[in-house]
Amino acid sequence: MATSLNPKGKFGTAPVFLTAISTILGAIMFLRFGYSVGTVGVWGTIAIVVIGHLVTIPTALSLAEIATNQKVEGGGEYFIISRSFGLNIGASIGIALFLSQAISVAFYVIAFAEAFDPVIHFIQNEYGFTITKKAIGLISVLLLSWLMLTKGAGSGMTLLYIVVAILGVSLIMFFAGDATYSGEGNFVKEGEIPFFHVFAIIFPAFTGMTAGVGLSGDLKDPKKSIPIGTLAATIIGMVIYVFIAFKLGHAAPPEVLSDIPANQLIMSDVAIWGPIIPIGLAAATISSALGSVMVAPRTLNAIALDKIVPIPRLNYWLSRMKKNNEPMNASLITCGIAFFFVLLGDVDMVAEVISMFFMVTYGSICSISLLENFASNPGYRPAFKSKWYISLIGAVMCVWLMFKINSFYAILAIAIMTIIYFTLSRYHKRSDMEVIFSGVIFQISRNLQVFLQKRKTNTANGAWRPSIVSISKDSFDRFAAYNLVRWISHRIGFATYIHHINGYLSNETRAKAEKAQERLIKMTQISNSSVFVDTLINPQYSQSISQVLQLPGISGQDNNMALFEFNKHDTEPCQEIIDHLGLARAVNFDLCILASSDKDFGYHSEIHIWITSNDYQNANLMIYLAYIILGHPEWKKGGQIKLFAVYPEETLEEQRTKILDMISTGRLPISANNIQLIPLGEDLNMKGIINEKSRDADLTIVGFRYEKVKHDGKEIFMGYDKVGNVLFVNALKEKEIV
Most distant CA pair in the chain, distance: 126
| pLDDT at residue 730, rounded to an integer | 93
Closest CA to 27 of 277, 269, 377, 227: 277
Backbone angles phi, psi at 642, to 5 degrees: -115, 130
- Domain assignment present for residue 449? The answer is no
Q: What is the mean pLDDT of residues 268-284?
A: 83
Backbone angles phi, psi at 307, to 5 degrees: 55, 45
Helix (H) or strand (E) holding 629, with range, is helix 619-630
- Domain assignment present for residue 3? The answer is no
Q: Spell 328-351 as b/e; 16+ CB within 10 A means b.
A: bbbbebbbebbbebbeeeebeebb
Residues 572, 628 within the same domain:
no
Q: What is the mean pLDDT of residues 604-629?
A: 89
The answer for 462, left when phi > 0, alpha when psi is -120 to 50, beta otherwise, is left
Residues 564, 670 within the same domain:
no
| pLDDT at residue 738, rounded to an integer | 58
Q: How far apart are CA 473 and CA 681, in angstroms?
A: 40
- Domain assignment present for residue 445? The answer is no
Residues 548, 601 within the same domain:
no
Listed ranges 235-249, 333-347, 417-431; the one with the highest mean pLDDT: 235-249
- Domain assignment present for residue 219? The answer is yes
Torsion of CA 100, 106, 112, 113, to 10 degrees: -150
Backbone angles phi, psi at 379, to 5 degrees: -80, -5
pLDDT at 451 over 50: yes
| Greater model confidence, 149 or 371 | 371
Residues 429, 508 within the same domain:
no
pLDDT at 323 over 70: no
* Burial (0-12, 13-18, 19+ Cβ within 10 Å), 412: middle
If pLDDT is split at 50, 70 and 90, which confidence band does 186 have? very low
- Domain assignment present for residue 493? The answer is yes
| Sign of the Cα pseudo-torsion (609, 614, 620, 625, in order) | negative
pLDDT at 168 over 90: no
- Domain assignment present for residue 74? The answer is yes
Q: What is the mean pLDDT of residues 579-594?
A: 88
pLDDT at 188 over 50: no
What rounded mean pLDDT belongs to the chain?
79
To the nearest whole percent, how much of the chain has pLDDT over 70? 82
**DSSP conformation class of 552:** P
Residues 39, 133 within the same domain:
yes
| pLDDT at residue 497, rounded to an integer | 93
Q: What pTM was estimated for this model as a whole? A: 0.62
Domain harbouring 610, CATH code: 3.40.50.620
Cβ atoms of 54 and 393 closer than 8 Å: yes
If pLDDT is split at 50, 70 and 90, which confidence band does 661 have? confident
| pLDDT at residue 185, rounded to an integer | 39
Residues 320, 420 within the same domain:
yes
| pLDDT at residue 289, rounded to an integer | 79
Domain harbouring 551, CATH code: 3.40.50
Q: How far apart are CA 540 and CA 503, in angstroms?
A: 8
pLDDT digit string, tens, across residues 64-118 = 787 777 666 666 677 777 776 777 777 877 887 788 788 888 878 887 887 777 7
If pLDDT is split at 50, 70 and 90, which confidence band does 155 have? low
pLDDT digit string, tens, across residues 32-71 = 788 888 888 889 889 999 998 898 889 888 877 877 776 6
Domain harbouring 295, CATH code: 1.20.1740.10
Boundary of a domain, candidates 558, 593, 628: 593
| pLDDT at residue 37, rounded to an integer | 85
pLDDT at 255 over 90: no
| 517-to-419, 435, 498, 541, 548 alpha-carbon distances in Å | 37, 21, 9, 18, 16
| pLDDT at residue 287, rounded to an integer | 73
- Domain assignment present for residue 439? The answer is no
Boundary of a domain, candidates 593, 608, 632: 593
Residues 394, 311 within the same domain:
yes
pLDDT at 200 over 70: yes
Q: Which region among 50-54, 459-463, 567-571, 613-617 has the lowest average model confidence (pLDDT)?
A: 459-463
Residues 705, 561 within the same domain:
no
Q: Containing domain of residue 422, as a range?
A: 13-434
Is the peptide bond between 261 and the residue preceding it cis, with omega within 30 degrees of 0?
A: yes
State whether residue 11 is helix, strand or coil: strand
| pLDDT at residue 629, rounded to an integer | 92
Closest CA to 229 of 364, 60, 10: 60
Boundary of a domain, candidates 576, 593, 610: 593
| pLDDT at residue 378, rounded to an integer | 59
- Domain assignment present for residue 339? The answer is yes
Number of domains in the chain: 3
| pLDDT at residue 18, rounded to an integer | 80
If pLDDT is split at 50, 70 and 90, which confidence band does 737 have? low
Angle at 189 between CA 184 and CA 194, to 5 degrees: 155
pLDDT digit string, tens, across residues 722-732 = 999 999 999 98
Q: Spell 6-41 as b/e; 16+ CB within 10 A means b.
A: beebbbbbbbbbbbbbbbbbbbbbbbbbbbbbbbbb
Q: Spell 677-706 as b/e; 16+ CB within 10 A means b.
A: bbebeeeeeebeebbebbeebbbbbbbbee
Q: Are strands 590-596 and 675-680 parallel, antiparallel or unpaired?
A: unpaired
Count of H-run helices and E-run strands, the chain: 28, 10
| Greater model confidence, 6 or 552 | 552
pLDDT at 583 over 80: yes
pLDDT digit string, tens, across residues 377-432 = 656 777 777 888 898 999 999 889 888 888 888 888 788 878 887 887 777 665 55
* Burial (0-12, 13-18, 19+ Cβ within 10 Å), 108: buried
Residues 466, 521 within the same domain:
yes
Residues 563, 603 within the same domain:
no
pLDDT digit string, tens, across residues 529-561 = 888 899 999 998 888 888 888 887 765 667 889
Backbone angles phi, psi at 565, to 5 degrees: -140, 145
- What's the order of all strands across the beta sheet hosting 532-538? 532-538, 494-502, 467-472, 561-567, 590-596, 726-730, 699-703, 606-612, 640-648, 675-680
Total residues belonging to the chain: 738
Listed ranges 111-120, 324-333, 362-371, 664-673; the one with the highest mean pLDDT: 362-371
Residues 623, 525 within the same domain:
no
| pLDDT at residue 261, rounded to an integer | 64
Residues 66, 133 within the same domain:
yes
pLDDT digit string, tens, across residues 697-727 = 999 999 999 888 888 888 899 889 899 999 9
Cβ atoms of 28 and 205 closer than 8 Å: yes
pLDDT at 182 over 60: no
Q: What is the mean pLDDT of residues 342-365?
A: 71
Q: How far apart are CA 362 and CA 368, in angstroms?
A: 10
pLDDT at 628 over 60: yes
